[in-house]
């Protein structure tokens, strides 16, 4: 892993190999922008992605804010522009879920978000999958009900419940799971993910060195899965520190980040 600074965020690099892959792939992953900006009209993000020239972009949720003061037009403009140049697979976080399953709350923000999706090349994956046949990759986006994000208690998924949402994994393919909340890593691994892409924890707000952080959005101290790479059996999980802030508008020793992931076929 290596990194360099760019426009206020780090670009961290990761590499994986698998005999399931039919060709080498490079992609960009980010999450949790929460309508923050990096340069005018997020030109910092756009320029970084253009320079990397990925095969696709994977988003692990919470690019928008489900708030009365939210205005997602700028971030949707960024995502639409990126999707004109690169395939963009958009996984759902709790904020997108709230807007899409809105019970008559935040109608203006919901309308802005839906309008941003309409007519765009963005691939919003709500418990759906996309196949990259030439690489033998299956990308699945998990859209969890909001009760899994409650601060008052932690209800962990098991494999059986996960399969209710996304079905069984085709383990002959290299499975990438866009799963916003990393707390359910055991279920993601048991389902058959080769690589899980998560966010949600914002690096723990205050970085404590390595991949350790102070507090999660669920108001839990020292979250187990905070930032960086984790391994369980044959499954790896990357947890993004996110590109923005929400609720606790503060970071210490915990810069925003973009991830660049290299997938190499085994020789």
Residues 125-142 have pLDDT tens digits of 999 999 999 999 999 999
So what's the pLDDT on residue 148? 87
Place of tokens 């020789």: 267
Task: Count the neighbouring beta carbons within 10 Å of the beta carbon of residue 261.
Answer: 21
Q: What is the pLDDT of residue 92?
A: 96
Please check whether residue 250 is in contact with residue 15, taking contact to mean a CB–CB distance below 8 angstroms: no
Q: What is the 3-state secondary structure (H, E, C) of the chain?
A: CEEEEECCEEEEEEEEEECCCCCCEEEEEECCCCCCCCCHHHHHHHHHHHHHCCCEEEECCCCCCCCCCCCCHHHHHHHHHHHHHCCEEEECCHHHHHHHCCCCCCHHHHHHHHHHHCCCCCEEECCEEEEECCCCEEEEECCCCHHHHCCCCCCCCCHHHHHHHHCCCCCCCEEEEECCCHHHHHHHHHHCCCEEEECCCHHHCEECCCCCECECCCCCECCCCCCEEEEECCEEEEECCCCCCCCCCCCECCCCEEEEEEEEECC
Question: Per-residue confidence at 150, pLDDT binned at 50, 70, 90?
Answer: confident
Determine the pLDDT at residue 75.
93
Phi-psi region of 228 (alpha: psi -120 to 50; beta: other; left: phi over 0): left
Range name among 63-67, 68-72, 227-231 with the lowest pLDDT average: 68-72
pLDDT tens for each residue of 207-253: 888 889 888 877 788 888 999 999 999 999 999 999 988 766 778 88
5: pLDDT strictly greater than 90: no
**Given the DSSP bridges, would you call strands 137-141 and 56-59 parallel, antiparallel or unpaired?**
unpaired
pTM here is 0.93
pLDDT band at 102; cut points 50, 70, 90:
low
The average confidence (pLDDT) of the chain is 90
Proportion of the chain above pLDDT 90, given as a percent: 67
Q: Give the model confidence (pLDDT) of 24-42 as tens digits.
A: 999 999 999 999 888 888 8
What mean pLDDT comes out for the span 177-186? 96
The predicted pLDDT at position 6 comes to 44
CA dihedral sign of residues 198, 201, 207, 212: negative
Domains and CATH numbers, the chain: 2-265 (3.60.21.10)
Residues 195, 236: contact at Cβ < 8 Å? yes
pLDDT for 267: 66
The mean pLDDT value for 112-123 works out to 92
β-pairing verdict for 195-198 and 174-178: parallel
Among 90-99, 107-116, 148-157, the range scoring the smallest mean pLDDT is 148-157
């Amino acid at each position: 892993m290596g990194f360099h600074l760019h426009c206020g965020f780090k670009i961290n690099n990761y590499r994986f190999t698998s005999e399931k892959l039919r060709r080498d792939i490079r992609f960009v992953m980010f999450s949790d922008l929460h309508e923050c900006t990096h340069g005018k009209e997020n030109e910092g993000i756009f320029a970084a992605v253009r320079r990397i020239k990925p095969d696709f972009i994977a988003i692990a949720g919470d690019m928008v804010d489900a708030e009365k003061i939210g205005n997602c037009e700028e971030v949707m403009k960024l995502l639409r522009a990126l999707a004109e140049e690169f395939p963009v697979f958009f996984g759902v976080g709790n904020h997108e879920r709230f807007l899409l399953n809105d019970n008559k709350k935040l109608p203006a923000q919901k309308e802005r978000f839906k309008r941003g999706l309409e007519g765009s090349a963005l691939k919003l994956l709500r418990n759906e999958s996309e196949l990259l046949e030439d690489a033998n990759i299956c990308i699945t986006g998990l859209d969890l009900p909001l009760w899994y994000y409650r601060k008052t208690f932690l209800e962990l998924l098991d494999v059986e419940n996960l399969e209710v949402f996304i079905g069984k994994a085709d383990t002959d393919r290299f499975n990438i799971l866009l799963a916003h909340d990393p707390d359910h890593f055991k279920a993601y691994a048991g389902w058959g993910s080769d690589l899980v892409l998560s966010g949600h924890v914002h690096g723990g707000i205050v970085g404590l060195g390595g991949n350790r952080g102070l507090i999660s959005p669920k108001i839990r101290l020292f979250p187990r899965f905070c930032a960086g790479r984790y391994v369980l059996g044959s499954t790896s999980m990357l947890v993004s520190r996110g590109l923005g802030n929400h609720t606790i508008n503060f970071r210490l020793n915990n810069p925003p980040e973009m991830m660049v992931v290299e997938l190499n076929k085994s020789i």
